[in-house]
A and B are shown apart, each in its own frame.
Chain A
C-alpha cells in the first residue's frame, strides 16, 4: 500500500510538538514579565495632576514634615490628602497669583475639592493600614521611596502582593525605630 504521508512527516510532527511547547512556555514567561512591568503596575509613571505639586520643593526645600499634610498617617488606615486650606495656609501669602496655583485658588473659592490623581492606589479587595505600619517601625520611604527627591510624585514600588509579601515574610529588613519613620534617607 502506498504511504499517505512522506517519511519526513514524522520529523515534522515532532518539530511541531516541540515548537508548540516552546511557544506556550514563551507565552507564559512573557505574560509573567508583563504583569510585573510598569505598563501594568504603573511603577515610575508620573500621573497628570491638576497642580504639579513638588514634594522635592516642599519637603527637601522648605522642610515641611510629612504629617503637616498627611495628618492621619499615624491614626488611620489612610494617610490623608490635605484639604485645600492646608495649601492656602501658605499660598494665600506667597505665589498668590501664580498660574500654576489657579486650581488651588479655584478650589478655595468654590469649596470644590482638588481632583488629585491617586498615585498609590491599591485594589479595593486589599486592606492596608498606614497606622499599623507607621507605628510598628516602617518608614515612609520604605514603600513610597525618596519622596523628598520627587519633583512629581510617582509610584516607586510595584505595590503588588509579591512585593508586600517580601516584607511580610521578613519584616526585620525594613524595620526602623519609630523616631526615624519620617527620615527619608
Chain B
C-alpha cells in the first residue's frame, strides 16, 4: 500500500505541501501523473494597516479594547 495514493485511515488527506505542479509531481511522487494535490491555500493581500490589524486581532485572539484598558492588565 502506498500512502501517497491511498489513505490508510480513510480520512481526509492532510495537505503538507502548498502545490505540486505536474512536472514536480512526476519527479517526487509515485502517484499517477494525473493526480494533483488540491489548489494552493488562499492568500489575502492587505493594502492598509487597519484591515490587516482587524484580521490579526481575530487571528491572534487579541482581547477587546474594553478588556485591554482594564486596570489589572498593567497594575497587578
Partners in one complex: yes
The closest CB in chain A to the CB of B69 belongs to A168
Q: Number of residues in B with C-beta < 8 Å to the partner?
A: 16
With A125-B75, A165-B69, A168-B69 in contact, do A173 and B62 touch (Cβ < 8 Å)? no
**Interface bin, chain A:** 20 to 34
Assess whether B74 is in contact with A172, with CB atoms less than 8 Å apart.
no
> In the complex, are the beta carbons of A127 and B60 less than 8 A apart?
no
- Distance from A166 Cβ to chain B, minimum over Cβ atoms (Å): 10
Q: Which one of B1-9, B13-21, B27-35, B45-53 is at the interface?
A: B45-53
Residues of B within 8 A of A170 (CB): 65
Inter-chain CA distance A176–B50, complex, in Å, is 10
CA distance A105 to B56 in the complex (A): 45
Q: A176 CA to B49 CA in the complex, in Å?
A: 8
Binding site for A on B (CB under 8 A): 49-50, 52-54, 56-57, 60, 62, 65, 68-69, 73-76
Task: Point out residues on A near B: beta carbons under 8 Å.
Answer: 125-128, 136-137, 161, 164-165, 168-178
The 10 closest A-B pairs by CB, nearest first: A172-B53, A168-B68, A175-B56, A175-B53, A127-B76, A169-B65, A136-B60, A172-B54, A168-B69, A137-B56
